[in-house]
Amino acid sequence: MKNSEKTVDFDLSLLSLQELITVYQKVAEFLDFLESKKIVEEEKGKESHE
Amino acid sequence: MNNFLDFILKDIETKTNILSALPTKTKTNIKKYNATIDEFQKKYTDYKSNLRNYLLAKSRSFEVKNEETTDINSLNDHVISLERVKFLLNPTNTYFEKMGFDELLYQLSNYSTFNFSSLNELINGFLDKFQLAGISLSQEDFDYTCYVKEYMASFLDVRTKKTESHEKLSEVFEQIYWVNPDIIEHIELNFRKLIRKNAKKFEAYIETIQKEWMAKEQVANYLDCLEKLQNAYLSLHKATEENVSDIVLGCEKGEIDINSFLQESKVRSSAYEALVPETVDQSDVGAMQKVCVVLDRLETNVLEYSKYMEFEPIITAFKEEYKKSVSEAPKPEPKKVEITGLKEVLGKIEASEQELEKLNRKILGTKNPFFDFKNEMEIKQLKAKSVVKAKELYELYAKYDEEYFKEKVLDILNPTLTVADVLHLYSSFDYFKKKALQKVFKLTTYDDIKRYSESFDLFAMNPSNVIVSGVLVFDETNIPKTIVNKYRLNGIKIDEMDLSMDNIQNLLNRIRLVLRIHMIETSMLSVEKIWFMIQVHNLLEKEQQI
């Protein structure tokens, strides 16, 4: 466990119903964001040679 | 210590910054960049999975089982049976309507207007009804004109043999139709005559089934039936009333918007502002319960009024037609006159039918197997005469129908006639109800007429109707004003505009909203819990689509 995680309470029952939905939405959005940020190596590689 | 949401918000921010700071110029940079993304993704996929499981478990813990303790089907069957008894005992109409002849005649007399698919089905419908009463009709019974005789001989032949093929029948029909396009009218006339001739047998049959059904449903008389039906309706209504799990289901289907139930919703606050008196503490469950009892009644009244508005043109047309009769003559007098009118038409019908019989005897008795030009000409002329006579009779029967209904109207016509009386009158006479609906609403298809007719009957028979029982047909009553004044006494802020055609649905929605919120808040659930369940449901549904 990283240092930042050590100071987090992972008990989801502490969150309100609205917060639970928000946190799930944020996590899902971030996953979509990460997927969109991936770079296809070959194309970028070619570009850097040019 | 941070809670998980705070941590996630910060963590996403940090990770986004890390990613934006990473170089991506070289292959090695990119490799490292993508590896970092992979690492983040792994972590967040775990978070998502754990969260998903938690949300699902939490949402499921809120689910309310729909416990149906009563057998709705048997309650419904009981209502249907009692409605059947009510129909059979209805003192307003006769064996003619109770046998359903009026319904068949309406279809037959509008056969060409509505392009019914099968004339033969209608004829079979009549024959079946005769058979129910123990009357087996044979070829000899169909002698109204030589054309009916010819067609019905083939028809009964096919019916007796129970053959599937109707090709021959269609051929016969077509042959007759080109010589006499009035053949359907002649068939109708023949049935009308046969129904009248067998009136006693039908009355006896109705009496028998009345007794059977009364014994079955343990009904003593018509009034007893109405009382039992009212109780049966109430039991059914109670058993089928909307409950919290219905609301959840409605939200899941997207039929109900749970967001409008939330405290911060403007829809909710405006509904409460109008419908909950200012003096009532909305957090006081007991006080809100009292408000909801009143709102429940208001909803019933508004629903009744909206149905009334839908069929008001029928009441207005009735009023226009009979306002002279009700204002000009004292009650017993017109009734007497009109009975004479009905008898007079019936006398004319019987006399004309006798003349037609004579003509038919000549036509059917003068057949010569040898070719005889004079004889053939004579038959042709006689046939033409019989067609003219049948046309006259068709008009006389139309007049008879008019007089028949007029007599029924004049029987109850008086200045204190209520809308409920007119609704009952029309629902007792299907033929005239459909004719009135067709005329007033300018309906052009039989499906529309059936739809309006069913909706009309539901309204006319609705046991929770109270307004129509107090509104006089020949009086100017401002129903919206009456409703508004009644509920202003209860501190409910509605005005006549809320009851206008354009706004009435909005008012009903607002009433329903307050009633539903109260139902939720007094159950094991809360608005917030349902909101959460719907969010989870929608999130998962969205994921499944991807």
ipTM of this complex: 0.81
B95: Cβ–Cβ under 8 A, 6 or more apart, which residues? B199, B202, B203, B205, B206
B454 and B520 fall within a common domain: yes
Can you give the pLDDT at residue B204? Answer: 97
Cβ within 8 Å of A, B 10-29: 10-12, 14-16, 19, 24-27
Among residues B412, B427, B445, the one where a domain terminates is B412
CB atoms within 10 A of CB B104: 22
B207 and B173 fall within a common domain: yes
Q: Which of A8-12, B290-294, B493-497, B502-506 has the lowest mean pLDDT?
A: A8-12
Residue B372 lies in a domain: yes
Q: Does B132 touch chain A (CB under 8 A)?
A: no
Question: Are B30 and B24 within 8 A, CB to CB?
Answer: yes
**Percent share of chain B, pLDDT over 70:** 94
Question: What is the number of structural domains in chain B?
Answer: 4
**Which of the two residues, B324 and B267, has the higher pLDDT score?**
B267
B5 neighbourhood in chain A, CB within 8 Å: 15, 19, 22-23, 26
Span B453-482, mean pLDDT? 94
Whether the pTM exceeds 0.80: the reply is yes
Q: What is the pLDDT of residues A39-48, one digit of tens each?
A: 986 655 444 4
B33/chain A closest Cα distance in angstroms: 8
B151 and B269 fall within a common domain: no
Span B283-305, mean pLDDT? 95
Residue B291 lies in a domain: yes
Question: Are B98 and B206 within 8 A, CB to CB?
Answer: yes
B524: Cβ–Cβ under 8 A, 6 or more apart, which residues? B64, B244
**CA atoms of B236 and B233, how far apart (whole Å):** 5
Q: What is the mean pLDDT of chain B?
A: 91
**CA atoms of B84 and B297, how far apart (whole Å):** 28
Q: What is the pLDDT of residues B302-319, one digit of tens each?
A: 999 999 999 999 999 999
Please state the φ and ψ torsions of residue B193, each to the nearest 5 degrees: -65, -45
B200 and B81 fall within a common domain: yes
Residue B243 lies in a domain: no
**CA atoms of B459 and B467, how far apart (whole Å):** 12
Residues belonging to chain A with any Cβ–Cβ distance to chain B shorter than 8 Å: 4-5, 7-12, 14-15, 17-28, 30-31, 33-35, 37-39, 41, 44-45, 48
Question: Are B296 and B515 within 8 A, CB to CB?
Answer: yes
Burial of B194 (0-12, 13-18, 19+ CB in 10 A): middle
Among residues B191, B216, B233, the one where a domain terminates is B233
B475 and B534 fall within a common domain: yes
B325: Cβ–Cβ under 8 A, 6 or more apart, which residues? B334, B410, B413
Residue B253 lies in a domain: no
B219 and B190 fall within a common domain: yes
Residue B381 lies in a domain: yes
Q: What is the pLDDT of residues B161-195, one digit of tens each?
A: 877 667 788 888 889 999 899 999 999 999 999 99
B419 and B391 fall within a common domain: no
- The count of CB pairs under 8 A between chains A and B is 102
**CA atoms of B203 and B94, how far apart (whole Å):** 8
Alpha-carbon distance values, B373 to B171, B383, B385, B544 (Å): 27, 15, 18, 85
B11 and B137 fall within a common domain: no
CB atoms within 10 A of CB B131: 11
B262 and B135 fall within a common domain: no
Residue B44 lies in a domain: yes
**CA atoms of B177 and B387, how far apart (whole Å):** 13
Can you give the pLDDT at residue B220? Answer: 97
Q: Does B531 touch chain A (CB under 8 A)?
A: yes
Span B106-118, mean pLDDT? 77
B428 and B296 fall within a common domain: yes
CB contact (8 A) between residue A38 and residue B528: no
A45: Cβ–Cβ under 8 A, 6 or more apart, which residues? B27, B30
CB atoms within 10 A of CB B111: 17
B304 and B395 fall within a common domain: no
* Chosen from A4, A22, A25, A37 to mutate, greatest number of chain B CBs within 10 A: A37
B350 and B314 fall within a common domain: no
B184: Cβ–Cβ under 8 A, 6 or more apart, which residues? B108, B111, B112, B119
**Closest Cβ opposite residue B12 in set A9, A21, A30:** A30
Among residues B184, B217, B233, the one where a domain terminates is B233
**CA atoms of B91 and B425, how far apart (whole Å):** 11
Q: Which of B45-49, B67-71, B400-404 has the lowest mean pLDDT?
A: B67-71
Residue A50 has pLDDT above 50, yes or no: no
Residue showing tokens 């010819």: B150
B41 is in which domain, residue-wise? Answer: 4-62
Residue B369 has pLDDT above 60, yes or no: no
Long-range pairs for B15-24: beta carbons < 8 A, 24 or more residues apart: B15/A30, B15/B40, B16/A33, B19/A37, B24/A39, B24/A44
Residue B242 lies in a domain: no
Burial of B507 (0-12, 13-18, 19+ CB in 10 A): buried
Residue B67 lies in a domain: no
